[in-house]
Amino acid sequence: MSGRAQLMWDEAVTGYDFGPDHPMDPVRLALTRKLVAAFGLDREMEVVAAKPAGESTLRLVHREDYIDAVKAASADPARALGAYGLGTVDDPAFAGMHEVSALIAGQSVGAAEAVWRGDAEHAVNFAGGLHHAMPGGASGFCIYNDAALAIARLLELGAERVAYVDVDVHHGDGVQAAFWEDPRVLTISLHEHPRTLFPQTGWPQETGADCAEGSAVNVGLPAGTGDAGWVRAFHAVVPELLAEFRPQVLVSQHGADTHFEDPLAHLAVSLDAQRAVQVACHELAHEYAGGKWIALGGGGYAVVDVVPRSWTHLVGIAAGRPVAPEAVIPEPWRQEVFARTRQLGPQRMTDGRWPVNWASWESGYDPADRLDQAVRATRQAVFPLRGLLP
C-alpha cells in the first residue's frame, strides 16, 4: 500500500531547546530517532536532511517584523523581553533559536516538496508540528509554524486543495489562523475543549472567514475523553469532510499529548488509540489524497514513556512497515534511556489497549453523552457549509 517514504531528520533539530526547566525537552526527539533506528525503520526509508527554511519561505506565513524579532532574540537572548511572544515563560529566547527553528521548518517544507513532486509518497517530520506559532508571534513553545509553511509551500507549488488534520491535544490555532481566509486549505483540529485548555480557542463555531466559510473545523473534546470517544470523534468528523473536499495532499499533525500520562493536558488516550488514528490518517491519505501524506509530530511531554513510542509507530506506518503493538522494545534503547534520563523506559510498543474498540457515529449515538454533544456541535456548525448532512 505504501511506496517510497522519507524520514526528515537532521541531528541539529535537537538544538530546539528552551532550557532545563521547560517541558519540551529535546531528548524526546533524540530518543524517538533512536527508537526508529532500534526497529530498523530507517533502513526501510530514505533519511533526508533538508536545508533550513530561508527568508522568502518563512515569509510565506510569517511577517517580516516578526522574523527580524526572532533573529534579534536568537543573537541576543537576554534582550528578548516579551515582545512578539519571545522571552516569555512558554517561549524563552535562546541562542541560535532562529537557525534551529528555520531548520525544523525546512524539514516540513522539504517533506512538502518531496511529496508534491513525487520523490516520496509519504514524508515524516516528527520534529515538526509546531502549530501554535502565529504569522506575527511566537506562542505555545512554537517559533516558526512548520506545518503552515509546508502547506503554504504546497500552494506555492500549485496545489489547489490541501487538508490539514491536527490531533494534538491543543487546538491547531496557528495553522487555522494562517489559512482562515483561504478556501484552498481545510483545517480540522480535534483537541481538548477550549474551556479547559490552552490556547482557549478551537470552538465549533470557528468555521473560517466569510470568504472561506467551512474551511476551518474544530472539535472540542470534553476533558477526560478516552480511547473509544477520541477515535469515535475522529471517525465521526474527518473521513466525511475529506471525501467531500478531495484534497490533493493530506498534512497531519500527531501531537502525542492526548495521552493519559501527559502532564500538560487532560485527555485519557492510550498509545494504542494514537496508533489507530495514525493508521487511519495513512488510509485516508490513500483513499482521498492520492497517497500524498505529510505526517508531523507536535506536542507531547511524557518524553520517555510516550513520545518516542508514538512517533516510532507513525514512522513505521509511513514506511509501510508498521511496528506491531505487542513488539518488545530492544534492550539497547532502554539502556540509552536510562543513561540519558535515569528513567526506566517502556518495555513494549503498546499500553495494552490494543485493539482499540469504538462505535461508529451512526450506531453509537447518545444525545445525553458529552462526547456526542461535542461532535454534534461540530457537525452542526460546519457540515452544512460543506453541503453535508449534520
Terminal-residue alpha carbon distance, the chain: 32
- Among candidate residues 199, 205, 222, 148, the one with its CA nearest the CA of residue 178: 148
Q: Which of 153, 170, 292, 334 binds Zn ion (CB under 5 A)?
A: 170
Compute the least distance from the CB of residue 165 to Zn ion, in Å. 14
Q: Which stretch binds Zn ion (CB under 5 A): 115-123, 218-226, 297-305, 341-349?
A: 297-305
Sheet holding 46-48, edge to edge: 46-48, 5-8, 122-125, 293-296, 249-253, 162-166, 185-192, 216-221
* Closer by beta carbon to Zn ion, 10 or else 166: 166
Residues in the chain: 390
Are 232 and 277 within 8 A, CB to CB? no
Pick left, alpha or beta for residue 185 (phi over 0 → left; psi -120 to 50 → alpha; otherwise beta). beta
Cα–Cα distance for residue pair 87/93, rounded to 1 Å: 5
Compute the least distance from the CB of residue 245 to Zn ion, in Å. 24
Sign, CA dihedral 170-175-178-181, equals negative
* Closer by beta carbon to Zn ion, 116 or else 141: 141
Return the SS3 of 137.
strand
Are 250 and 187 within 8 A, CB to CB? no
Return the SS3 of 186.
strand
Compute the least distance from the CB of residue 201 to Zn ion, in Å. 13
The Cβ of residue 263 has, within 10 Å, a number of other Cβ atoms equal to 10
Cis before 199 (ω within 30): yes
Compute the least distance from the CB of residue 76 to Zn ion, in Å. 29
Cα–Cα distance for residue pair 277/254, rounded to 1 Å: 9
129 binds Zn ion (CB under 5 A): no
Q: Which stretch binds Zn ion (CB under 5 A): 25-33, 93-101, 165-173, 306-314?
A: 165-173
* Closer by beta carbon to Zn ion, 69 or else 302: 302
Count of residues that bind Zn ion according to CB under 5 A: 5
Compute the least distance from the CB of residue 36 to Zn ion, in Å. 21
Compute the least distance from the CB of residue 4 to Zn ion, in Å. 30
Contact set for Zn ion, span 19-38 (CB under 5 A): none
Sign, CA dihedral 280-284-285-290, equals positive
All three cell numbers of 255, joined, read: 501531537
User: Which position's Cβ is nearest Zn ion?
Assistant: 299
Catalytic member of 62, 132, 170, 282 = 132
Q: Which of 204, 299, 316, 345 binds Zn ion (CB under 5 A)?
A: 299
The site map against Zn ion for 256-285 (x = CB under 5 A) is -x----------------------------
Cβ burial of 206 (10 Å; 0-12, 13-18, 19+) is buried
Whether 282 is a known active-site residue: answer no
Pick left, alpha or beta for residue 320 (phi over 0 → left; psi -120 to 50 → alpha; otherwise beta). left
* Closer by beta carbon to Zn ion, 182 or else 257: 257
Contact set for Zn ion, span 218-257 (CB under 5 A): 255, 257
* Closer by beta carbon to Zn ion, 106 or else 255: 255
Return the SS3 of 132.
coil
Compute the least distance from the CB of residue 24 to Zn ion, in Å. 10
* Closer by beta carbon to Zn ion, 258 or else 350: 258
* Closer by beta carbon to Zn ion, 60 or else 148: 148
* Closer by beta carbon to Zn ion, 10 or else 168: 168
Q: Which of 168, 192, 227, 305 binds Zn ion (CB under 5 A)?
A: 168
**How do strand 162-166 and strand 122-125 relate by DSSP bridges?**
unpaired
Compute the least distance from the CB of residue 191 to Zn ion, in Å. 8
Residue owning grid cell 520517555: 304
Which sequence positions are flagged as catalytic? 132
Binding positions for Zn ion, rule: CB under 5 A: 168, 170, 255, 257, 299
